[in-house]
A and B are shown apart, each in its own frame.
Chain A
């Protein structure tokens, strides 16, 4: 048996209620049910999580490093997009 026959899965773990699922790593598994179980054994054995998602790695569309400049650089010089640009009125708490 060789792992090259098994597809790769990306694992997302939510550590507790109220937080979002975070990418934890990847693993090989023959199908989704086994991927979920492998993820449980690989990524939550030290009680890191209360919920797991597994996604076939091939289903993920990633941005290309070649497009990095056009994708991300234009945002760098627009400070007014940050909430710090605005003055916070007095009396507004918890911000």
Chain B
């Protein structure tokens, strides 16, 4: 078994941790109780993945609660504010489609990540199913739900370029992954009567830099909220 580079575990672990926190923000605010629990379940799945991945790098609590913003290696996509429900579903569709393709590929490998990936891929498949079902219903629902869903997809599109930036230490065929991702998203959006966003891709400017520790403004505020308890009361426990 080849050892997993810390940089890769950190990138994937931070993605899971940060998105988990963003989804957790729906607690008490989701449109219906049933949906609140669905989002909380997805959030907890991601938190479980984050704990395992960060533990491969070091102390999970220190990494989650005591790092500064620039030390996080997550995608800018996952740190964006939750927005309205359609916005959250748009992000879930983009991210879970990517995560599923990535973890399926990692599960075939032979490093420390393969075992985690083969377990996580089942969770992620459900996340994707959840996002797809909601995309279909919002896109093909009322005029307002259609408009909000399209807005969410358009607003987050600029963060999807970074998703396919190679992660150091992972042997993944990124261009093929991106191609399959684009096909899948296009298929869902077409069924949902939504329009595939077009925007900066390739050589044009896109948002990015999360993997290098460059983050967007909302991320600092999110971290302040996520870390303040641990920083105010070090070692606090239930």
Could you tell me which A residues sit within 8 Å of B by CB distance? 1, 3, 6, 27-30, 33-34, 37-38, 41-42, 45
Contact = CB atoms under 8 A, between A and B. Distances in A.
Contacts of A1: 31-32
A37 B41 CA distance: 12
Instruction: Give the dominant DSSP class at B's interface.
Output: helix
Nearest to A27: B34
Contacts of A38: 34-35, 37-38
Contact of B133 (A28, A34, A42): A34
Given A1-B31, A34-B133, 12 more contacts: A3-B32, A29-B34, A37-B129, A37-B130, A38-B34, A38-B35, A38-B38, A41-B34, A41-B38, A41-B41, A42-B34, A45-B37
Query: What 3 A-B pairs come out closest when comparing CB atoms?
Result: A38-B34, A41-B38, A1-B31
B37 A6 contact: no
B37 A34 contact: no
B168 to A, nearest CB: 36
Interface in B114-147: 129-130, 133, 137
A66 B130 CA distance: 43
Interface in B13-41: 31-35, 37-38, 41
Contacts of A33: 133
